[in-house]
Amino acid sequence: MILHTNKSNKKNNNKVLGINPGSSYGNAKRWYPREFAKVASELSTQFDINIYGGPNEVSIANEIEKILVEMGVKNFKNLAGTTTISDVIKSIAKLDLFITGDSGPMHIAACFNIPTIAIFGPTRDDETSQWMNIQNINIKKNLTCQPCMKRTCPLGHHDCMKLIKAVDVLKAVKSL
């Protein structure tokens, strides 16, 4: 894990964005690292960034980290695989914004009413989205193959996630 912080160059009053790219259910629920990185890069002038993930999600978090470094973003911490559940709960509770797939951490954010953008692909957002968080926006494409509820795309194209772009998420952030 590499921690990137540039405290001397802060312009954002310590607002913190959390991004959670992983999903224990399967790869079909995972949005793409490059798209997460585009969103994080665009928001990096307004927020410091925490990248979350469990031990099985370190590689996707590291991929996002690599892309952020290539984009010149320095104000982020890659916490994937280094935190306990208690640490994650405490950290998410302090966020100003959370961008995630359909995941357990999404529900943690709901408990604290953290403004959240949740990216849905193969799962039913009407059944598994945040409960009781009025600052929540779900992003999905409403394709005929959705929701398939599969761990991997049975059609092999993964369009339910592939067609969601950083611009869609950034538009949702502005509307929050």
For residues 127-138, average pLDDT: 87
pTM: 0.90
Q: Select 14-175's CATH number: 3.40.50.300, 3.40.50.2000, 2.20.25.90, 3.30.300.30.
A: 3.40.50.2000
User: How far does CA 142 lie from the centroid of its chain?
Assistant: 20
Torsions phi, psi for 76 (to 5 deg):
-140, 160
Question: Which segment of 2-16, 34-48, 117-131, 155-169 scores lowest on mean pLDDT?
Answer: 2-16
Tell me the Ramachandran region of residue 26: left when phi exceeds 0, alpha when psi lies from -120 to 50, beta otherwise: left
- Domains of the chain, by residue range, sit at 14-175
The pLDDT score that the predictor gives to residue 32 is 94
Cross-strand pairs, 137: 117
User: CA separation (Å) from 140 to 31, 40, 76, 83, 118?
Assistant: 11, 19, 27, 29, 9
pLDDT in tens, 37-65: 999 999 999 999 999 999 999 999 999 99
Cross-strand pairs, 101: 119
Integer Cα distance of 73 and 50 in angstroms: 12
Q: Quick check: 9 and 75 in contact, CB under 8 A?
A: yes
